[in-house]
Amino acid sequence: MIIKNADVVLKEGVKRLDIRVENGVIAELAQHIAGEGIDCTGLTVLPGLIDMHVHLREPGFEKKEDIASGSAAAVKGGFTQVCCMPNTRPVADNKVVVSYIVHRAKEVNLCKVHPIGAITEGQKGENLAAIGAMKAAGAVALSEDGKSVVNTNLMANAMLYAADFGLKCLCHCEDASLVDGGVVNEGYYSTLTGLKGSIRAAEDIVIAREILLAESLSLPVHICHVSTYSGVQLIREAKARGVQVTAETCPHYFTLTDEVIAGFDTNTKVNPPIREERDRLAVIEGLKDGTLDCIVTDHAPHHEDDKNVEYALAAFGISGLETSFALSYTQLVRGGALTLGQLADRMSAAPAAILNLRGGAIEAGAPADLTVVDLNEKWTIDPAQFVSKGKNTPFAGRQVYGRVKYTLVDGDIRYREASK
């Protein structure tokens, strides 16, 4: 198969090229390759997008999402690889659940799905989970996502054991005693709405703890969904003194501020909460200077029953796979903060490097995981069009640029936009 006349995003810049794919691998890149192919005139080819933080909800919460619907949403969003968090039921804290996810994802055969194992048994924060067995079954990282490991000594042991198996801990940073039932950012809008707020320090204190642990143990650590200006600063300072810390953020933290809660739309309820303009700008600055390595969705699909309730009772989370690329491209590249090459890094090369996944670059010999987009197409986000079971987005009605046309995984077209 040949992809013809595309603007190809390479490490060294964007070039008009043909790409020949053979046996699932990029065989050749050249200005003109003879033969039949897909005409991609006017389209841009990115290295297959990788989302290292999603919730696919299977096993246990298939009403919210399952591996089939989540994978369909992933390829529709341009993602060729996703890493799924272990807060399923049962929790992915053992080799049986981890290998179930691996096998089910292969049956579904849309994107590559890499499970993340829990740090502690049942995510209870008491005993370490069977890390080696999970790694052998296919886990690519460990996380307690949804909460932090409260016991600092246990977290230190988790980092040590994880490192022995070549895995990293991906840390959801939240001091629950400080959050104390807060559901939004504490500030003007929490006061205005009467919704209980939670302060930045609830996130920052645990970011600082994980950094200090990684520093004293000389081990790597990854910080999940950074939302505060002060968290960005802690990570920037740590990197400057050589700590092996990497970090991610999500589109909602660089596109929205907490004024969106004023309408009491529960689709704006997410953990950590959407914060203020100062935080939003710092997150963009962090992505720009590389303090924040990558963009993830924290795709957290929920059922209408979990969201169509009063704000304080609604579930936390945003369904993000089908909007992430367009929101990121529109806000960051069209907004002038990042080049297209830098966006490809934050959404593909960086997560591949953090988790040691194959992918992240368009070059001969690499797997033909490719995302083909029309950067000029303007469209309106409409959750009714989502293939994810989770229609929970605060972005309904928003106009964005950048439409995914094809998603190829190992050279196979796994998503093609329906013709209009």
- What's the maximum distance between 2 C-alpha atoms anywhere in the chain? 65
Task: Give contact residues for Zn ion (rule: CB under 5 A).
Answer: 145, 172, 298
Q: Is 146 in the site for ligand DOR (CB under 6 A)?
A: yes
Q: Is 392 in the site for ligand DOR (CB under 6 A)?
A: no
Whether the CB-CB separation of 14 and 340 falls below 8 Å is answered with yes
* Shorter beta-carbon distance to Zn ion: residue 145 or 203: 145
CB of 236 to Zn ion, least distance (A): 21
- Judged by CB under 6 A, how many residues of this single chain contact ligand DOR? 10
227 contacts which partner out of ligand DOR, Zn ion, none, CB within 5 to 8 A by kind?
none
179 contacts which partner out of ligand DOR, Zn ion, none, CB within 5 to 8 A by kind?
none
270 contacts which partner out of ligand DOR, Zn ion, none, CB within 5 to 8 A by kind?
ligand DOR
Length, in residues, of the chain: 420
CB of 235 to ligand DOR, least distance (A): 18
CB of 55 to ligand DOR, least distance (A): 5
Contacts for 6 with CB less than 8 Å, ≥ 6 apart = 16, 17, 18, 19, 40, 41, 43, 44, 45, 372
Kindly report whether the peptide bond that precedes residue 59 is cis, defined as omega within 30 degrees of 0.
Answer: yes
Among 300, 344, 349, 404, binds ligand DOR (CB under 6 A): 300
Q: Tally the C-alpha atoms within 13 A of residue 236's C-alpha that lie toward its C-beta.
A: 15
**For tokens 């914060």, what's the residue?**
275
CA atoms 203, 276, 336, 396: torsion sign: positive
Binding mask 50-89 for ligand DOR (x = CB under 6 A): -----x-------------------------------x--
* Shorter beta-carbon distance to ligand DOR: residue 297 or 331: 297
* Shorter beta-carbon distance to ligand DOR: residue 44 or 185: 185
Q: Is 172 in the site for ligand DOR (CB under 6 A)?
A: yes
Among 187, 251, 286, 317, binds ligand DOR (CB under 6 A): 317
Is 305 marked active-site? no
CB of 283 to ligand DOR, least distance (A): 16
CB of 171 to ligand DOR, least distance (A): 11
State how far the Cα of 376 lies from the Cα of 340, in Å rounded to an integer: 13
- Beta bridge mates, 246: 222
Q: Is 270 in the site for ligand DOR (CB under 6 A)?
A: yes
State how far the Cα of 13 lies from the Cα of 339, in Å rounded to an integer: 10
* Shorter beta-carbon distance to ligand DOR: residue 115 or 146: 146
* Shorter beta-carbon distance to Zn ion: residue 7 or 145: 145
* Shorter beta-carbon distance to ligand DOR: residue 48 or 390: 390
Check 18, 279, 298, 369 and give the catalytic one: 298
CB of 143 to Zn ion, least distance (A): 8
45 contacts which partner out of ligand DOR, Zn ion, none, CB within 5 to 8 A by kind?
none
316 contacts which partner out of ligand DOR, Zn ion, none, CB within 5 to 8 A by kind?
ligand DOR
* Shorter beta-carbon distance to ligand DOR: residue 47 or 394: 394
Q: Is 271 in the site for ligand DOR (CB under 6 A)?
A: yes
CB of 57 to ligand DOR, least distance (A): 8
Residue positions annotated with a catalytic role:
298
Please give the residue ranges that form the binding site for ligand DOR (CB under 6 A).
55, 87, 145-146, 172, 270-271, 300, 316-317
